[in-house]
Structure 1
Amino acid sequence: MTESYFTFEHVSFQYSDGTQALHDLSLTIPMGKKVAILGENGSGKSTFFKLLMGLEKPSSGKIQFLNEPLHYSKKQLIKLREHVGFIFQEADNQLFASTVKHDILYGPINLKWPHEKIEQHVDTAIQLTELEDLTERPIHFLSGGQKKRVTIAGVYAMDPKLYILDEPTSSLDYYFSNQLTAYLDELDTENRTFLYSTHQVNLIYGWADHFIVFHKGQLLYSGQKDALFSNDALLKKAHIEKPWLVKCYESMLREGLIHPQQQLPRSMDELMQLMKCHTFTPL
């Protein structure tokens, strides 16, 4: 199996107005991982995604896709977009068909799949995103959250191996924000990779297994959660909130309610298990 989807080697990007969006970026997007992309607005996350999708070319440096230099010929861009599904932050930038089902059908039809395969993938996508009652609804009659669910269904129906989600919970209510990670868990196999950009750290803390942090166009961190969320100085610099579960763990540790462990708990169940394992001294 290929070890990485993308490799960036000293990549920088400057917009035509002179704005330097990324500075000397070197990193690898590992295959088969759930990657959280963190950073304040303007940190370079959206530009990074545009480079991944071939929508922009680096001003300097090299990008490799599936261990080969990324070229911008029509043939290679088609190959790239067959592998990569992009869910935009603003759903209106991604929807253009007349009805919900027509929009979800658009991508699979353009992949020239057999009719039965198209219908199977589209029906599964509709069920996954709970859009059964909206399939014939005109797009312009949908709420912001409904539109976002249609974009998710449209990308899912194309069966990409790498998902890019740019602030996917914007416009989603509490229920569907939490449902989104459940959707992704259903897709989570060793053959799929996820890049999830968000400010909602609590939502993806226990879900992601790799974290990348951008700050002012530079790579500030790339690695597992433990070294990131135990580094108060780095979190402060990047304006990233510490997850409430980590705050609880650290507070209980200070109070002597649990024993320290090498890895931070990923869920409330894990934290409660630590408490059960702790031997309390009777009063």
Structure 2
Amino acid sequence: MLLPLLEFRSVCYTYPGTEYPAVRDINLAIAAGQKTVILGHNGCGKSTLLFLADGLYRCDSGAIYWQGEPLKYQARMLNLWRQRIGLAFQDPEQQLVAATVAEDISYGLCNLPLSEAEIARRLHQTLLDFSLQELADRPLHHLSLGQKRRVALAGVMALQPELLLLDEPTAYLDRRQTRHLFEELDRIQASGTTIVIATHDLDLAYAWADWAIVLHEGRLMHSSPAPDLFGCADLLEELQLGLPTLLECWYALPPAYRDRRSPPRTLSELRSYCL
């Protein structure tokens, strides 16, 4: 049996100066290759879980494992850990540290034991992969928010992590920018990187995820294949998530129309039913 890529065992964490844990007694596993979504209302612990996974916060109790090996909080081990796991923050401006696009993407590479030739090669390839060649020398403060998010993601992926964590990746993006972002994520996932997204956007989760995790007030309420969660309207209501828009429209159709058909996950799939 394959070990999970990342595993939480009885993990608890309380922010300094607060009374109640932000996450409590979390047990869950992230499998390699799956597109995993972490759902829940604001303040449920989604971001905290990602920060713990990346080693930015230290568990108060419990432990986090990478393919069976526990996270150790010594500086050298944390550097190795973060080469495997990349984290893109909700606000890209918190992640951009250099003056220009190329300098920012190079920043993380320069902290790795790489030759100048390898740094240059990875920078060039990353600029190509994320269509940033024309922006390479552009000052970061001249970029739009959507461009900044792309640069922040490029900087993470230049390190070639095996697991990519994204915190509310569609925040501040319009529909076109969101579509482009998920085209990038599909490419990243197809290249072998496992992706986990924390979001409260049910429509995004419904269309995208293979596996769904639900948090509520810091507790793990649900973890299953995404179709199992979204295939049960009563469970979604019980978890106080509501219904994705497309699924709500689907259930509004006459039962005779829905018989013998699986609920569509995209508009194009719904259109195919109408042909």
TM-score higher than 0.5? yes
Q: What do residues 10-39 of structure 1 show as CA deviations (whole Å, max 9, x unaligned)? A: 221112212311121111111111101111
**Partner residue of 1:120?**
121
Query: Deviation string for 1:133-190 (max 9, x for gaps)?
Result: 3221212232322221110111121111100000112232221111111101111237
| Whole-Å separation in 1 of the counterparts to 2:142 and 2:124 | 21
Code of the aligned partner of 2:90: Q
Question: Cα gap change, 1:145/1:231 in structure 2, threshold over 3 Å: closer, same or farther?
Answer: same
The aligned counterpart of 1:216 is 217
Alignment of 1:91-110 (within 5 A): 91-110=92-111
What is the match of residue 176 of structure 2? 175
Say whether the 8 Å CA contact 1:148–1:172 is kept in structure 2: no
Instruction: Go from structure 1 to structure 2 and tell me whether the alpha carbon gap of 1:114 and 1:266 turns closer, same or farther (over 3 Å shift).
Output: farther
SS at match of 1:36: strand
Cα distance, 1:86 vs. partner? 0.6
Q: How is 1:1-283 mapped onto 2 (pairs within 5 angstroms)?
A: 2-17=2-17, 18-189=19-190, 191-252=192-253, 254-261=254-261, 263-276=262-275
**1:214–1:220: 8 Å Cα contact kept in structure 2?**
yes
Displacement of 1:255: 4.1
Deviates more, 1:155-164 or 1:224-233: 224-233
CA distance in 2, matches of 1:137, 1:144: 14
- Which amino acid counterpart does residue 32 of structure 2 have in structure 1? M
Residue identity over aligned pairs, in percent, reads 36
Deviation of the 1:51 alpha carbon: 1.1
Aligned residue identity for 1:143? S
Aligned-residue CA RMSD (Å): 2.2
Describe the SS at the equivalent of 2:7: strand
Secondary structure of the structure 1 residue equivalent to 2:29: strand
Q: Is the 8 A contact 1:97 1:103 kept in 2?
A: yes
Alpha-carbon distance between aligned partners in 2 of 1:213 and 1:135, rounded to the nearest angstrom: 39
Letter in 1 for 2:9: E
Gaps of 5+ in 1: 277-283
Indicate the structure (1 or 2) with the bigger Cα radius of gyration.
Answer: 1
Shift in CA distance, 190/2, structure 1 to aligned 2, threshold 3 Å: farther
* Offset of residue 250 of structure 1: 2.5
2: CA distance between counterparts of 1:9 and 1:185? 29
Which amino acid counterpart does residue 214 of structure 1 have in structure 2?
A: L
2:210 touches 2:227 (CA, 8 Å); kept in 1? Answer: no
Deviation at residue 194 of structure 1 after TM alignment: 0.5
Q: Report the 3-state secondary structure (helix = DSSP H, G, I; strand = E; otherwise coil) of the residue aligned with 2:23.
A: strand
Deviations 1:190-233 (A, max 9, x none): 73211111222222422211111111101111111222123334
* 2:266 alignment partner AA: S
Aligned pair count reads 274
Deviations 1:108-152 (Å, cap 9, x if unpaired)?
A: 222233444333332333234333332212122323222211101
**Alpha carbons of structure 1 residues 205 and 128: separation in structure 2 relative to 1, 3 Å:** farther
**TM-score, normalising length from structure 2?**
0.90
Q: Determine the C-alpha separation between the residues in 1 that align with 2:160 and 2:179.
A: 22
Q: Distance in 2 between matches of 1:191 and 1:145?
A: 24
Contact 1:214-1:238 within 8 A present in 2 as well: no
Query: 2:51 is matched by which residue type in structure 1?
Result: K
Q: TM-score, normalised by structure 1?
A: 0.88
Instruction: Sort the Cα spacing of 1:2 and 1:104 in 2 relative to 1 into closer, same or farther, 3 A.
Output: farther
> 1:256 aligns to what SS in structure 2?
helix
Moved over 6 A (4+): none
Tell me the SS of whatever aligns to 1:257: helix
Are residues 155 and 251 of structure 1, via their aligned partners in 2, closer, same or farther at CA, if it must alter by over 3 Å?
same
Contact 1:148 1:171 in 2 (8 A): no
Is the Cα–Cα contact under 8 Å of residues 25 and 218 in structure 1 kept in the other structure? yes
2:101 corresponds to which letter in structure 1? V
